[in-house]
Structure 1
Amino acid sequence: MGVAIRTAKEGDRELVVRLLDQAFQDDPVSSWVFPGEEYRRSTHHRLMAEFTDIVLADGYVDLTEDGTACALWLPTPADDDGDPDAAGDEAVRIREAVDPANERVELIARLTAEIHPVGRAHEYLWMIGVAPERQGEGLGSALMSAVLDRCDQEGLPAYLEASNDRSRVLYERLGFSFTGLPLRLPDGPTMWPMWREPRQL
């Protein structure tokens, strides 16, 4: 049986934020950005809200019809040159909006911007989240496959950063390859930038 997927609307914002907050509470990168369980539970949702707002404004959010999984996609044009000044300003804005005293909020935004590929149009999977009780059922794969099929039809690459080994294995099954340059967070976990060339139909 297929998974029903729709594009999230502004009215779905709180659902998406809540879903991402639940899905990433125990993620290694989220645990690094917000160390300490109590601190993370009280603050993490603000970063998920900021990410959701950015993608709702400039990209799109795919949502399973039952509201248990979502994927945040940001189409990146070929002329996006990764301007470091603009990326730095955005990183500062995110920190001030989310948790002004937490330098790691700004740092994660800066570091991921620095490694983001430039010069070629692509779909950027910013985040994908599945409700904890539904993980392992193939919802993430279904969400991604819908977009990756379109990428194949349009000859468009895709890019993401895997934040843990489990997701990295999933992305490899879907055709992504590690770029060879890991992002090692200071005193924290490693992220794996991954790129997928469109498949020949």
Structure 2
Amino acid sequence: MIEAKSEDKGLIIDILTESFKDNQSVNYLIPADGRRLNRIRALMDYSYETCKLFGKVYLSDDRKGCALVSFPERKKTTLKSLWLEVTLILNGIGFGNISKAINREKAISKNYPSTPIYYLWFIGVQPDSQNSGVGKRLMDEIVAESERLKRPIYLETSTVKNIPWYKKFGLNVYNQLDFGYTLFLIKND
């Protein structure tokens, strides 16, 4: 796993957009209009930039997978973070979904401990490289890094078939939230 450089941003956004274009949790916030894929790209751009500011962005060694990690206690309101949020609203979620986004974020973050966590915001693999071990190698390194940092991993998924995969890494569902779809809150034990 390598830390992404600024020139990797396009590749990372491509991987995440393709990996999450049919994801219920992503599409909960993205209007289903003719700009849907561009809106998902805007969400991934926002997530990438936020993790560059307040976390880490990783690529797998073969550059076919990526992970966005946030350290929530580091997040601060800055001119750049405000600009990122405005850009997300304008190009991604739209004005109509602002309250949905805020309410969902509040509901999720109520489940986090007050101590520092290793928040795995997104992990994705190019669709043509899925099921080839890319994600496993990336996740093994993420688990090792979280252990080095002495931070528990927290994440969410709306994809039921991903739950057994996360269990292989010692992560389990600890809560579920209903947003018209089930969002599974996952952490390591």
Question: What is the TM-score with the length of structure 2 in the denominator?
Answer: 0.82
Q: Give the drift of 1:141.
A: 2.0
1:171 pairs with one of 154, 158, 166: 166
Alignment of 1:120-135 (within 5 A): 120-135=115-130
Consecutive unaligned residues in structure 1, runs of 5 or more: 84-88
- Structure 2 match to 1:86: none
In the alignment, residue 26 of structure 1 is paired with which amino acid?
Answer: D
Alignment of 1:141-156 (within 5 A): 141-156=136-151
- Structure 2 match to 1:48: 44
- Structure 2 match to 1:107: 100
Q: Is the 8 A contact 1:29 1:163 kept in 2?
A: yes
> Relative to 1, partners in 2 of residues 1:58 and 1:92: Cα closer, same or farther, differing over 3 Å?
closer
> Relative to 1, partners in 2 of residues 1:110 and 1:9: Cα closer, same or farther, differing over 3 Å?
farther
1:58 pairs with one of 54, 57, 63: 54
**How far apart in 1 are the matches of 2:11 and 2:153?**
26
Matched, 1:192 2:184: yes
Q: Is the 8 A contact 1:162 1:192 kept in 2?
A: yes
Q: Is the 8 A contact 2:15 2:126 kept in 1?
A: yes
Q: Is the 8 A contact 1:25 1:31 kept in 2?
A: yes
- Structure 1 match to 2:132: 137
**How far apart in 2 are the matches of 1:103 and 1:169?**
34
1:98 pairs with one of 91, 99, 102: 91
SS at match of 1:99: helix
Consecutive unaligned residues in structure 2, runs of 5 or more: 77-81
Query: For each residue in 1:40-94, what CA deviation from the matched residue of structure 2 results, as whole angstroms up to 9, or x when unmatched?
Result: 22321111111111011111111013321101111244xx7x99xxxxx899646
Question: What is the TM-score with the length of structure 1 in the denominator?
Answer: 0.77
RMSD: 2.7
Q: How high is the sequence identity, in percent, across the aligned residues? A: 23
**How far apart in 2 are the matches of 1:130 and 1:37?**
25
Query: For each residue in 1:107-157, what CA deviation from the matched residue of structure 2 results, as whole angstroms up to 9, or x when unmatched?
Result: 235413432203121100011111111111222221121121233344321
Q: Give the drift of 1:172.
A: 1.6
> Relative to 1, partners in 2 of residues 1:101 and 1:73: Cα closer, same or farther, differing over 3 Å?
closer
